[in-house]
A and B are shown apart, each in its own frame.
Chain A
Amino acid sequence: SQTIHQWPATLVQPVGSPLSLECTVEGTSNPNLYWYRQAAGRGLQLLFYSVGIGQISSEVPQNLSASRPQDRQFILSSKKLLLSDSGFYLCAWSMELTSGNTIYFGEGSWLTVV
Chain B
Amino acid sequence: KQEVTQIPAALSVPEGENLVLNCSFTDSAIYNLQWFRQDPGKGLTSLLLIQSSQREQTSGRLNASLDKSSGRSTLYIAASQPGDSATYLCAVEGNTPLVFGKGTRLSVIA
Show the binding face of A for B, using Cβ within 8 Å. Answer: 32, 34, 36, 41-46, 49, 59, 88, 90, 92, 97-100, 102-108, 110
Residue of A nearest to B51 (CB): A100
Residues of B within 8 A of A99 (CB): 31
Known: A42-B102, A49-B97. A100 touches B42 (CB 8 A): no
From A44, A46, A104, residue with most partner B Cβ within 10 Å: A44
Interface size grouping (class) on chain B: 20 to 34
Is there an interface contact between A102 and B44, defined as CB atoms closer than 8 Å?
no
Contact yes or no, B97 A104, CB < 8 A: no
Report how far A103 CA is from B89 CA in the complex, Å: 13
Q: Which residues of B, 39-81, contact A by the 8 Å Cβ criterion?
A: 41-46, 49, 51
User: Smallest CB–CB gap between A112 and chain B, Å?
Assistant: 13
In the complex, chain B residues whose CB is within 8 Å of the CB of A100: 31-32, 49, 51, 93
With both beta carbons as reference points, the residue of chain B lying nearest to A45 in the complex is identified as B100
Instruction: List residues of chain A with CB within 8 A of the CB of B93.
Output: 98, 100
Residues of the A chain whose Cβ atoms lie less than 8 Å from the Cβ of B43: 90, 105-108
